[in-house]
Amino acid sequence: MDSKRYELNVQLAQMLKGGVIMDVTNVEQAKIAEDAGAVAVMALERVPADIRKQGGVARMSDPAMIAEIKKAVTIPVMAKARIGHFVEAQLLEALKIDYIDESEVLTPADEECHIDKTTFSIPFVCGARNLGEACRRIAEGAAMIRTKGEAGTGNVVEAVRHMRTMNREIRQLVQMPVEEVTGFSKANGIPYEIALKVKELGRLPVVNFAAGGLATPADAALMMQLGCDGVFVGSGIFKSADPAKRARAIVKATAYYNDPQKVLEASMGLGEAMPGLEIGQIPPEQILAGRGW
Amino acid sequence: MTVLPIRKSPDLIGVLDLQGGVHEHLEHLDRLEIPSRRVKDASDFTGLAGLILPGGESTCLARLITIFGLKDVILQHYRLGMKIWGTCAGAILLAEKVLGENSCLGLIDIEIERNGFGSQLDSFVAESMIPAVSGEILPLTFIRAPKILKTGKEVNVLLRIDDYIAAAENDGVLVTVFHPELTGSVAFHRYFSEKCGLTPQSEAAVISDWGMLSWMKHARIAS
């Protein structure tokens, strides 16, 4: 990927700022998401809550299903490839979708290497739990970052943890004298040049969205107030009692995240949220955020 | 002694701050030393000489300005003389006709097609001479851009490329399907400021130290 193409890819993510990206599994859901004001959809066969329940190996979705969704909407379409599965990524690029999520929600295909995203023209978003992980993905060519959170739980606690961790580490970097950056980078696995960039910018050098466990308008506003540039909502919408209503409410709360009165109005009468999972109840080997490195 | 209130003439440019590329426009207005404001509520429209509708997703923006009652506020201020510039999604909101969909604000007689080029892989950069706007060749950034297919009699075409129109205006409205705020050029921001009756302080056509990350100073986590 040449630098101009990378710039365009980062800039597409900039145009998504302040927006909500929604997981959808069919054309009907994609249309509901678009009508509700989603800025993009993530096309996949099973939302994370079902992947978690059904177990087994989760792979890239059927390209025919992704193609149908692409045809049905005019907003950008994203789809997931397994961590390290560069051929799934090649197929998604050939399908000409708009963004690839190299995602821990799917079963990793490589336990040592993430995809070399610099060899692609299509943009990638990757998950991160901390500044080091985010910067390593950026070094590999990611044009957008999201928190990993813990997908499919309806529990925002991990997304909050990941965002607070990144923010704390960014604050540390900004405040430290430059001679301490080498040691800090080494300790946190941050490529040195990117650490300097983060120090200068006071934030990640790409757009950073919240993801993993968001289920309510208040969850979305919480992540926005913590400094995220926008949000992903996966299972939270189509596993709730009234998806269209909840989708619209989360779009409103994300746009007006600093206005409690508007978030309050958006939160009224939405019906049941998706069933939630306590993180401590999940067996350690089923924690998705631990995938990737 | 009676103190008479002085009614200040509008001297600000607002950027609609609901979703999309807000910081990028604020950064360009700063470079021209044009006072600016983020616009989210009806009360934010006071004193606006102009309003920028940024790039983002037009379906999302249309939905938000409709449900939060901002559509009527925008139309009301437009009638009172506020100028409006729409970039990319913003241009779609301003169009009288949107191919296959309902129009939103309908303030300029153009027919526009959403996402006219294809997927993100078809996003591109170009450059062009637009004599009405600047004496220099301008960089243009198209991201999943719409295409203006037709314009009405009252509309002045500023830039035509191949089979589509990329920039146009009427008395009160400017539309560009590309993103000047994603380049180092401030020519369009200067042009719009002057259309609003404001005087940019800086003479430069290009910000020499602009970079793709310049907008981030408006969105820092730590400082």
pLDDT tens-digit profile of A92-116? 999 999 999 999 999 999 999 999 9
pLDDT at A293: 86
Q: What is the pLDDT of residues B137-182, one digit of tens each?
A: 999 999 999 999 999 999 999 999 999 999 999 999 999 999 999 9
Q: How far apart are CA B178 and CA A285, in angstroms?
A: 47
CB-CB: which of A35, A38, A98 is closest to B119? A98
Q: What is the pLDDT along chain A (293 residues), one digit of tens a residue?
A: 788 999 999 999 999 999 999 999 999 999 999 999 999 999 999 999 999 889 899 999 999 999 999 999 999 999 999 999 999 999 999 999 999 999 999 999 999 999 999 999 999 999 999 999 999 999 999 999 999 999 999 999 999 999 999 999 999 999 999 999 999 999 999 999 999 999 999 999 999 999 999 999 999 999 999 999 999 999 999 999 999 999 999 999 999 999 999 999 999 999 999 999 999 999 998 999 999 98
What pLDDT score was predicted for residue B207? 83
Could you give the CA distance from residue A220 to residue A232 in angstroms, rounded to a whole number? 9
B205 close to B133: Cβ distance less than 8 angstroms: no
Give the pLDDT confidence score for residue B20 in this predicted structure.
Answer: 98
Mutate to test the interface with B, among A1, A10, A17 (most CBs of B within 10 A): A17
pTM of the model: 0.96
The answer to whether A80 is a known catalytic residue is yes
Q: Provide the pLDDT confidence category of residue B6 given band limits of 50, 70 and 90.
A: low
Q: How open is the CA angle A116-A121-A127, to the nearest 5 degrees?
A: 50
C-beta of residue A18 within 8 angstroms of C-beta of residue A43: no
> Distance, in angstroms, between A13 CA and closest chain B CA?
9
Asked if A3 has any chain B CB less than 8 Å from its own CB, the reply is no
CB contact under 8 A, A123 and B120: yes
Min Cα separation B30/chain A (Å): 18
Give pLDDT, residue A91: 98
- Residue range B98-123, pLDDT digits in tens: 999 999 999 999 999 999 999 999 99
Q: Is A74 exposed, middle or buried (0-12, 13-18, 19+ CB in 10 A)?
A: middle
Q: Which residues of B touch A229 (CB under 8 A)?
A: 219
Q: Quick one: pLDDT at residue A1?
A: 72
b or e along A32-68 (b: 16 or more beta carbons within 10 Å of the residue's beta carbon)? Answer: bbbebbbbbbbbbbbbbbbbbeeeeebebbebebbee
Sorted by where each begins, the domain ranges of chain B are 12-114+146-222
For residue A10, give the nearest of B17, B114, B212 by CB distance. B212
Topology given in CATH for the domain delimited by B12-114+146-222:
Rossmann fold (3.40.50)
Q: What is d(CA B86, CA B56) in angstroms, rounded to the nearest whole number?
A: 11
State residue B5's pLDDT score: 61
**Position B7 confidence tier, pLDDT thresholds 50, 70, 90:** low
Mode of pairing for the β-strands spanning A99-103 and A77-82: parallel
Report DSSP letters for chain A, one per residue.
--HHHHHHHHHHHHHTTT-EEEEESSHHHHHHHHHHT-SEEEE-SS-HHHHHHH-S---PPPHHHHHHHHHH-SS-EEEEEETT-HHHHHHHHHTT-SEEEEETTSPPS-SS----GGG-SS-EEEEESSHHHHHHHHHTT-SEEEE---TTS--THHHHHHHHHHHHHHHHHHHS-GGGHHHHHHHHT--HHHHHHHHHHTS-SSEEEB-SS--SHHHHHHHHHTT-S-EEESHHHHTSS-HHHHHHHHHHHHHTTT-HHHHHHHHTT--PPPPP--GGGS-GGG-GGGS--
